[in-house]
Structure 1
Amino acid sequence: MTERSAGLPSQTEVIELLSGDFARAGYDIEEVVIDAAARPPRITVVADGDDGLDLDTIADLSRTASAALDSVDDRAAPYVLEVTSPGVDRPLSTEKHYRRARGRKVELTLSDGTQLTGRLGETDGGTVRLVVREGRQPTFTVREIPLDGIAKAVVQVEFSPPNPRELELVGQSGKGD
């Protein structure tokens, strides 16, 4: 986080100013939150990319955002600039979100109210492949689910490594994929 001397640009101004630099670095701006009531006021830029965000990338994007905002700085109010990644509890809502969460364990609520927990596989043409564990034995099946049939999807936090067969079915070896 970097405290800066400047006024608060609008959400639209921040997106217009930063989206080109972020896109060139391989990242999308998912959301910009302007909190003028915080002391000091806060601008939060939520970014994501196909390979996620690590701390070094967040630091680089923060410097880029700060420099870009400084270049149009003609105001005098201090604020805090924060660049962050989407939280693990962010619902998956676009095909891009599903693609980026490939290999992660998710809980889905389908449009008919059915709930499924499984590992995300490939997302293509409005359909996601979900590796689901069947029965007590580690038997896995792959289900194809239309994205428009999913009412809610949330990534689940895991504390143990996934079953190698699950990773194989989602097209990952578990060796850094």
Structure 2
Amino acid sequence: MAAPAHPAHAERVRQVVEPAVESVGLLLEDVAVRRSAGRSVVEVVIDVTEDDEVGLDLDRIADATHAVSDALDAAEAITGEYTLEVMSPGVSRPLTERRHFTRAVGHSVVVHRHDGGTLSGRLTAVERTGPQDGTIVVVPVTPGLKGRKPVVGEAVQVPLSEVRAAHVEVDLTGVGPVDDDEAGSDADAGQEN
């Protein structure tokens, strides 16, 4: 089992990594340093800024990886050999900042409010009301029962200050086993006689 690194060591690595990530126009989400199989593993989670229109693709992750590797080597922040893993936060990360919500517009979300209420639906907008605060707009969607269409409610505005926790809900509709009858008819339709 891998043991986590000392917190002061991880903070030193963060101080070296953050400017490198910012130099390629990205944001540092998190840094973790752990030991595995006798060597250090440096995990760097990066993301785009709130107003970034390009998104995080493999080329940008590669650019960040080179910048971080060069910075770690120049600062000699890691003793000995190490493995560097640079990644995006992924869909399962909690939505904790306005920029997280901005990147999630169009997706299904679950929002837990400080008052104990929960709101599930499609995140349709993030309205800025100040430098760091804002309001999210969620259109509630209740799944239809037994093949019926979902029920779509009126848009609800929730100030970010009222959000206790939130996350993107992965939509798996349309994913699953294919009905043998449908697969057979599709396969037959594509064959030439």
Residues 59-80 of structure 1 deviation map (CA, whole Å, 9 limit, x = unaligned) = 2211111111111227642111
- Select between 134-143 and 108-117 the one with higher mean Cα deviation: 134-143
One-letter identity of the residue aligned with 1:38:
S
User: How many residue pairs are counted as aligned between the two chains?
Assistant: 152
Q: Which residue of 1 aligns with 2:112?
A: 109
Q: Work out the CA distance in 1 between the residues paired with 2:62 and 2:173.
A: 29
Q: Which runs of 5+ in 2 are unaligned?
A: 1-7, 175-193
Asked if 1:38 is matched to 2:36, the reply is yes
Q: Which residue of 2 aligns with 1:5?
A: none
Q: Tell me if the contact between 2:12 and 2:77 (Cα under 8 Å) persists in the aligned partners.
A: no
Q: Tell me if the contact between 2:24 and 2:63 (Cα under 8 Å) persists in the aligned partners.
A: no
Alpha-carbon shift at residue 94 of structure 1 (Å): 1.3
Normalising by structure 2, what TM-score? 0.68
Residues 24-78 of structure 1 deviation map (CA, whole Å, 9 limit, x = unaligned) = 322110110111x322221111100145422222122111111111112276421
Which structure is larger by alpha-carbon Rg, 1 or 2?
A: 2
The partner residue of 1:86 within 78, 82, 89 is: 89
- Select between 127-136 and 116-125 the one with higher mean Cα deviation: 127-136
Q: Which residue of 1 aligns with 2:190?
A: none
Asked if 1:155 is matched to 2:168, the reply is yes
4+ residue segments displaced more than 3 Å:
134-140
The partner residue of 2:68 within 52, 56, 65 is: 65
Q: Work out the CA distance in 2 between the residues paired with 1:155 and 1:145.
A: 16
Q: Work out the CA distance in 2 between the residues paired with 1:134 and 1:158.
A: 13
One-letter identity of the residue aligned with 2:91:
V
Asked if 1:131 is matched to 2:134, the reply is no
> What percent of counterpart residues are identical?
33
- CA distance change for structure 1 residues 28 and 130 in 2, over 3 Å: closer, same or farther? same
Larger RCO of the pair (alpha carbons < 8 Å, separation 6+): 1
Q: Which runs of 5+ in 1 are unaligned?
A: 1-8, 162-177
Q: Which residue of 1 aligns with 2:156?
A: 143
One-letter identity of the residue aligned with 1:156:
E
Alpha-carbon shift at residue 18 of structure 1 (Å): 2.7
